[in-house]
Amino acid sequence: MTEIPPDEVSTQLMNQFLEKCDVAIFVYDSSDEFSWMQVLDIYWKVSRLAENNGFNLQYLFVAAKSDLEQKKFIQEDSSRVCNHMNLRPPMFVNHKLRGRTVFQIILLAAQRPDRNILSRKAKWINFVLYSFSVGVTMLGGLAAIHLRKNKNMKERRQNQKLSHT
């Protein structure tokens, strides 16, 4: 088990650790938006590096300080991202309410790493479908804007013709 601080994430360092790693656990402060964005950025770097080098890793997000007031955006975004990437939703830890600790979650993930694995093919299919649906939605929006502009132009022309006669 090795902790890598966010400011020390580099390709060379990550390659050393990823070779020996089965599970990558990303811990963030569930009450801090910057913490979530930073962990998400590190996740993308690590997952890209692992995939490019052929490492078969499982990923797990842990939301610490769940007893504090959480920003709804962070909770929704973290769940949406995990769902989109076929990862388990973030696990919330809380020391004040005697909930699970980060260490307990790490032990569970190490004992049963297969629970966090979803195939790369499934991830890729979900990514493609998600991208396709976003693209179709954008095209639909652009088509609606274009139709509305055409309708407004026709109305203006008709109004101009009526005012000239």
Q: Measuring CA to CA, how many Å separate 24 from each of 14, 42, 89?
A: 11, 11, 14
Kindly state the DSSP code that residue 115 receives in the 8-state scheme: G
Residue 58 pLDDT: 78
| Beta-ladder partners of 60 | 25
Residue 72 pLDDT: 57
Residue 8 pLDDT: 61
Residue 67 pLDDT: 58
**How many other C-beta atoms are found inside a 10 Å radius of the C-beta of residue 48?**
10
Residues of the chain predicted below pLDDT 70: 1-15, 66-77, 79, 94-128, 164-165
Residue 158 pLDDT: 80
Residue 44 pLDDT: 83
Residue 76 pLDDT: 64
Residue 31 pLDDT: 76
Mean pLDDT value across the chain: 72
Residues with Cβ within 8 Å of residue 26, at least 6 apart in sequence: 39, 42, 43, 59, 60, 61, 62
Going by CATH, does the domain composed of 1-118 fall within 3.40.50.300? yes
- Sheet strand arrangement including 91-92: 23-29, 58-64, 91-92
Residue 47 pLDDT: 81
